């Protein structure tokens, strides 16, 4: 799932799981709306999250802020997009059309949700991707049995239990709120393009001491889904109690452009396509795996063994069988 990479190796020591998922599909056959004729006055000086109106089948993306500019693609109705609004146009800041423009007249700005009180109803979609489902527990806690799972993109409606859990309507069962995104039914459009308010900072004390591509250092702030951060803190407390130090982390949330970097650098055999990594959902962590490190997070390493045995108590699970070509250091927050 990850495509972390050793700094010094001449060849990857481990085969990374490849999932050649097509980049965001663009409809070229659906009706294309005419350019927005009025001029919205809304201007944002910072990046906002926006959703293409569901009634729009295909929203043009152009090289500049005007209908006369060349059309380079389109966004499907309901897709999520990040950008800056100016004079009726959104300059896209993340995703396959970063740097391009689309008419703001067909967008609704998505604001940070108010804190959902216990008992309130929430709707959303399973944010996990890459074949990893969200766990549905029989009661609101990681320790309770996983009775079933929900595939990527599954629509859910439920009632808020507390800051971490939702009780599903209908069939019942409990999902961790971190595994559910509420921005768009098109979870691929959300992946790698999360607004800042949908992420929480990871304690820098967990940072790997080694630099890591692209551009990470021992002091770079990492981010994750906020529920995942809370669970990671609990995991790290237990890890430190067992080992005397935290489990070092190379990478957490990855933006679309970071994933593109890895996809371009390593190719589909070793990197998920942009939009198809659980790192892009803020729901994956790569523990330390740089060249010359200790064997702590290798297969059979003390840290890897501990995480495999105990990670599930905090919602973090490894998708690979022991000793396989998968990544010994990669864990998903699947609830
Ligand atoms: Zn990873």
- Domains of the chain and CATH, by start: 25-109 (2.30.30.40), 121-182 (2.30.30.40), 192-333 (3.30.1380.10)
Q: How far is the CA of 184 from the centre of ligand 1 (A)?
A: 24
Q: What is the pLDDT of residue 12?
A: 32
Q: What is the pLDDT of residue 314?
A: 98
Compute the Cα dihedral for 147, 2, 92, 61 and give only its sign. negative
Q: How far is the CA of 273 from the centre of ligand 1 (A)?
A: 13
Q: How far is the CA of 328 from the centre of ligand 1 (A)?
A: 9
d(CA 118, CA 189): 29
Least-confidence region, from 114-128, 253-267, 280-294: 280-294
**Alpha-carbon radius of gyration of the chain:** 20
Cβ contact 164:230 at 8 Å: yes
What does the pLDDT average to over 49-65?
96
Least-confidence region, from 40-54, 172-186, 194-208: 40-54
Cβ contact 156:149 at 8 Å: no
Tell which residue, 218, 216, 183, has the closest CA to residue 199.
183
DSSP summary character for residue 104: G
Q: How far is the CA of 268 from the centre of ligand 1 (A)?
A: 14
What SS3 class is residue 313?
helix
Structure tokens at 126: 């399973």
Q: What is the pLDDT of residue 183?
A: 96
Residue 303 has pLDDT above 80, yes or no: yes
Percent of the chain with pLDDT strictly greater than 90: 75
pTM score, whole prediction = 0.86
At residue 4, what are phi and psi to the nearest 5 degrees?
-75, 165
Structure tokens at 310: 């105990």
Q: How far is the CA of 170 from the centre of ligand 1 (A)?
A: 34
At residue 237, what are phi and psi to the nearest 5 degrees?
-60, -45
Residue 41 has pLDDT above 80, yes or no: no
E strand residue ranges, 245-306: 249-251, 284-287
Q: How far is the CA of 331 from the centre of ligand 1 (A)?
A: 7
Find all residues with CB under 8 Å of 313, minimum gap 6, and list them.
Answer: 142, 143, 235, 238
Condensed to tens digits (0 to 9), the pLDDT of residues 80-93 reads 999 999 999 999 99
Q: How far is the CA of 159 from the centre of ligand 1 (A)?
A: 31
Residue 32 has pLDDT above 70, yes or no: no
Residue 35 has pLDDT above 70, yes or no: no
Residue 322 has pLDDT above 80, yes or no: yes
Condensed to tens digits (0 to 9), the pLDDT of residues 212-265 reads 888 999 999 999 999 999 999 999 999 999 999 999 999 999 999 999 998 999
Q: What is the pLDDT of residue 44?
A: 75
What SS3 class is residue 196?
helix
d(CA 127, CA 133): 9
């Amino acid at each position: 799932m990850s495509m972390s990479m050793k700094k010094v190796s001449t060849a990857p020591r481990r085969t990374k799981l490849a999932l050649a998922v097509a980049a965001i599909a663009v409809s070229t056959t659906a009706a294309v709306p005419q350019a927005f004729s009025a001029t919205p006055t809304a201007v944002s000086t910072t990046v906002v999250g926006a959703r293409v109106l569901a009634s729009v089948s295909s929203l043009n993306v152009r090289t500049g802020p005007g209908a006369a500019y060349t059309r380079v693609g389109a966004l499907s109705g309901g897709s999520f997009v990040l950008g800056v609004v100016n004079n009726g146009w959104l300059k896209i800041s993340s995703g396959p059309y970063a740097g391009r423009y689309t008419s703001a007249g067909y967008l609704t700005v998505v604001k940070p949700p108010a804190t959902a009180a216990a008992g309130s109803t929430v709707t959303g979609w399973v944010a996990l991707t890459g074949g990893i489902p969200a766990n549905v527990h029989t009661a609101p806690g990681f320790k309770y049995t996983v009775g079933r799972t929900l595939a990527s993109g599954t629509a859910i409606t439920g009632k808020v239990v507390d800051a971490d859990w939702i009780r599903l309507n209908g069939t019942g069962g409990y999902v961790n709120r971190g595994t559910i995104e509420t921005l768009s039914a098109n979870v691929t459009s959300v992946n790698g393009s999360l607004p800042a308010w949908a992420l929480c900072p990871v304690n820098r004390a967990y940072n790997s001491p080694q630099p890591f591509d692209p551009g990470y250092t021992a002091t770079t702030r990492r981010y994750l889904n906020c529920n995942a951060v809370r669970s990671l803190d609990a995991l790290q407390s237990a890890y430190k109690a067992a080992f005397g130090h935290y489990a070092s982390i190379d990478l957490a949330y990855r933006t679309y452009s970071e994933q593109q970097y890895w996809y371009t650098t390593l190719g589909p055999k070793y990197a998920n396509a942009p939009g198809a990594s659980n790192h892009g959902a803020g729901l994956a962590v790569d523990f330390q795996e740089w060249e010359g490190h200790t064997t702590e997070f290798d297969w059979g390493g003390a840290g890897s063994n501990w995480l495999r045995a105990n990670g599930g108590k905090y919602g973090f699970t490894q998708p690979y069988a022991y000793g396989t070509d998968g990544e010994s250091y990669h864990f998903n927050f699947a609830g």
